[in-house]
Amino acid sequence: MTSATEDRVAALVEAARRAGADAADAVYYRSESTQVQVRLGLLEDVQRSDGEEIGLRVFVGQRSASVSSSSLSDDAIAALVERAVAMAREAPEDPFTGLAPPELLLSGVAPEIDGDDGDDPAPDRLRALALAAEEAARGVAGVTNSEGAGASAGRTSMALATSTGFARGFSSTGYGLSASVIGGEGAAMQRDYGYHSSRHLADLEAPEQIGRRAGERTVARLNPGKLASGAMPVIFDPRVGSSLIGHLAGAVTGSAIARKTSFLLGKLGEQVFARGLHLRDDPHRPRGLRSRAFDGEGLPTRAIDLIDDGVLTTWLLDSASARQLGMAPTGHATRGGAGAPGAGTSNLYLDRGEVSVDELIADIKLGLFVTELIGQGVNMVTGDYSRGASGFAIRDGKLAEPVAEMTVAGNLADMFLNMSVADDLVFRRAHDVPTIRIDGMTVAGA
């Protein structure tokens, strides 16, 4: 991030103060990306985007307003400032609004997160990666068609300034590679995919591995059946199990607690996961997909166990929700180009267990191994959980035939307390988990 960009947002804040704002903060984003799509060995599409946005939040007493613009001309910025201050003067008062406490802002040297590799691969390089991934997927016996493969590269630059003296920024790169293929014919067709993303291009998984995984997953799903309905253990593959900790993260945000719209309301300091489980948020992981040295309000970030030995230790608080709850902000504020900050996690992961996947399922006489979830049947107020699922039957401790058109149901509060995990944690996503087992879920099938 150049100092010129930091100077730009700092100057915008000063302009807001001169226009009558008591306090202000400004945020700047620039995103550049290239995407290449291929199908059946031929180039289908190439896209290039380059955009920037600036957002301004101003405070007049306990009134606030937020505006944003994708035009950064002098006239547009002047209009942005005038409009923001005028809107704030007409806004309702909010006793909890305001900038983060200045004494809590990041100072000194920021942690190095190594988020930008300095690369900008040309479209032909991305095309070669996508073609290699699709070729490997189509080479798996039983694959009959392709939905295509894609490769992407991008860079995001961000800067934040506040009227309390904070002005910093950073840039990060991101790369992705995917392939999706079809197996079988007619009504018996099945599809699956392989995907990987990384901050550094050198860390991106080989296209042959991604493609081969997509093809093998697809073929393994052919000719699915159904399980008889009943209560049984359900195993979540890591690529779908990560959604479970996403539900937990949403339930512990300060806004959800302040509005009393969380099934975990009143559970701070209590056991909400099974004993022995640890859920950690690590914003300083080198090259992590959501690593960051400071949050959306300029507070320093730090690694923290949201769940420590099964016990819920904290809410995720931006400054506004912290004031509403009579607590201190936790460095989890998130910020887009427009609007007030919210709260969220960085690199969130459920720590590994001590048994292998084979050992995790060895005692299951009949169960379900879920590799895909469908639908959004999660009630964050009550914790009720019901989603479509497909995957594989577990019979006598072993993976058996593929199954589809199943439903798995329970309540997240009970599911978390009955959760156990394998030792196969790998850092691949923003939310990472090992293979998860939850006993006593309701499965509806045949």
What's at 309, amino acid-wise? D
**Residues 349/431, Cβ–Cβ less than 8 Å:** yes
Instruction: Taking residues 273-293, report their average pLDDT.
Output: 97
More confident residue, 234 or 4: 234
The answer to whether the beta carbons of residues 138 and 193 sit under 8 Å apart is: no
Which tens digits make up the pLDDT trace of 217-255? 999 999 999 999 999 999 999 999 999 999 999 999 999
Tell me the CATH class for 3-219: alpha beta
From 390, 410, 392, select the one nearest 401 (Cα to Cα).
392
User: Residue 387 has which token pair?
Assistant: 């989603």
Q: Which two tokens stand for residue 213?
A: 């995984």
DSSP 11: H
Compute the average pLDDT of residues 117-143: 97
Residue with tokens 């609007």: 339
Alpha-carbon span 38 to 43, nearest angstrom: 4
Average of per-residue pLDDT across 417-437: 97
**pLDDT at position 3, please?**
75
Q: What is the pLDDT of residues 366-381, one digit of tens each?
A: 999 999 999 889 999 9
Taking the C-alpha atoms of residue 12 and residue 10, their distance in angstroms, rounded to an integer, is: 5
Distances (CA, A) of 392 to 156, 234, 237, 376, 437: 39, 10, 11, 21, 14
Are 163 and 20 in contact by the 8 Å Cβ rule? The answer is no
Mean per-residue pLDDT over the chain, rounded: 96
d(CA 404, CA 393): 10
pLDDT at residue 338 in the model: 80
Domain positions in the chain are 3-219, 224-446
Task: Dump pLDDT digits (tens) for 31-67.
Answer: 999 999 999 999 999 999 999 999 999 999 999 999 9
How far apart, in whole angstroms, are the C-alpha atoms of residue 445 and residue 222? 17
